Amino acid sequence: MNTAVAEAALGQAVTELEPIRARLVALGRSHTPADVADAMRAEGRVVTDSALVATVEALRRHSVGAGPLEPLLRQAGVTDVLVNGPDQVFVDRGRGLELTGVRFSSDAEVRGLAQRLAASVGRRLDDAAPFVDARLADGCRVHAVLGTVARPGTCLSLRVPAARTFSLDDFVASGSLSERGAALLGRMVAARLAFLVSGGTGSGKTTLLAALLALVPERERIVVVEDSRELAPRHPHVVGLEGRPANAEGAGAVTLTDLVRQSLRMRPDRLVVGEVRGPEIVDLLMAMNTGHEGGCGTVHANSAEDVPARLEALGSLGGLGRAALHAQIGAALHAVIHIEREDSGRRRVAEVHVVEADPASGLTRTEPAVQFGPGGRIRLGPGAARLERLLDR
């Protein structure tokens, strides 16, 4: 059975189960196989041993985990499952978004699934708190927005954790990076340069950063700070710190800023912030400026040139003025590695920029050092000489 037919069958199964499930819910207690058989007969279904077993199993599968989305999450190559109300379910297999045949019977069913997923990790999701961002027990990251504030209904976004950790050799094998490019990035890690991996959503920033961290010498201790656990580098000495949102009473939050400050007392050889997207950038830059070499992280940006402006915006959230922030950037950050996702869905390491400070204004900018073209071609930019000096220091 091909994927499209399987997804259509899955969508039909979800629709057919709903009236049976509604009858079982109306019982007000846990149902038994006999209850399922009675509900099947009430719906005009033929009850055989095989049909009853299949229905009981389908009900179980749709009441645990991600319910009707579970088969999609388990498909090989799927990185994201997106639900836009009851009638649109998309998957991303690395080729862009594809509409599936999976459907929900109503927005209430989507809402119920979203609330069950949130409740499974102790998070609140209702009209008073209509959105949630959390990581499930299996590592899947879920974001939900209820239909009270979203159109065309309750929206779910599920990010599937990578089934395996990729290496730089895998990037080379897939054509995302040339062998010369991999060697250059390896030299950057060995030289303990402080760098950020920039790119858009889904471009592969975290995957590339994990591959680079695997090159860190085994004798070094890596401390990773993340909002939601995603980085899993192949390295024998990794300590992960994960942020925590406030509970239903608005207490108990642990921010990335808190964790960056705590990590400095944990004797890190390499301090890593999985994704810089808030005031924690201030503490990270200060750490890089106080003897913590080789620090790195990822940041959302459309291009390497946009990174200083992006950091300036984030730094303002931490109360650091423009001049002071750029002084910190210029002293702490050496390079930016930009990765992009092409229209075909393939990820490609596009370029490496070095960070330069303008002596007149004191503001920082990035200069292209190396650009990676098709077929493994490499073009050197005006920042190439500075990058070479940093690598040879």
Question: Could you read off the pLDDT of 279-337 as tens digits, one per residue?
Answer: 999 888 888 887 788 999 999 999 999 999 999 999 998 888 899 999 999 999 999 99
Whole-angstrom CA distances from 207 to 163, 211, 251, 275, 317 are 11, 6, 33, 12, 27
Residue 24, SS3 per DSSP: helix
Q: How far is the C-alpha of 215 from the C-alpha of 226, rounded, in Å? A: 20
The predicted model scores a pTM of: 0.77
CB 335 within 8 A of CB 321: no
**Whats the size of the chain, residue-wise?**
393
Alpha helix ranges (H) inside 191-279: 205-213, 256-263
Q: pLDDT of 21-40, one tens digit each?
A: 778 767 766 678 888 899 88
pLDDT of residue 184: 96
pLDDT of residue 63: 58
Whole-angstrom CA distances from 24 to 46, 50, 106, 119, 273 are 17, 20, 17, 21, 47
Structure confidence at residue 62 as a pLDDT band (50, 70, 90) = low
> Helix axis angle, 307-317 relative to 322-332, nearest 10°?
120
Q: How many other CB atoms sit within 10 Å of the CB of residue 246?
A: 12
Q: pLDDT of 185-211, one tens digit each?
A: 999 999 999 999 999 988 889 999 999
Whole-angstrom CA distances from 332 to 73, 206, 221, 275, 292 are 40, 21, 20, 17, 9
The mean per-residue pLDDT over the stretch 93-113 comes to 88
Does the pLDDT value for residue 125 go beyond 60?
yes
The mean per-residue pLDDT over the stretch 205-230 comes to 93
Structure tokens at 264: 């400095």
Q: Using omega within 30 degrees of 0 as the cis cutoff, is the peptide bond preceding 68 cis?
A: no
Buried b (16+ CB within 10 A) or exposed e, 301-314: bebbbbbbebbbeb
Q: What share of the chain is helix, strand, coil (3-state, %, to 5)?
A: 40, 20, 40
Q: Which of 41-50, 84-93, 244-253 has the lowest mean pLDDT?
A: 244-253
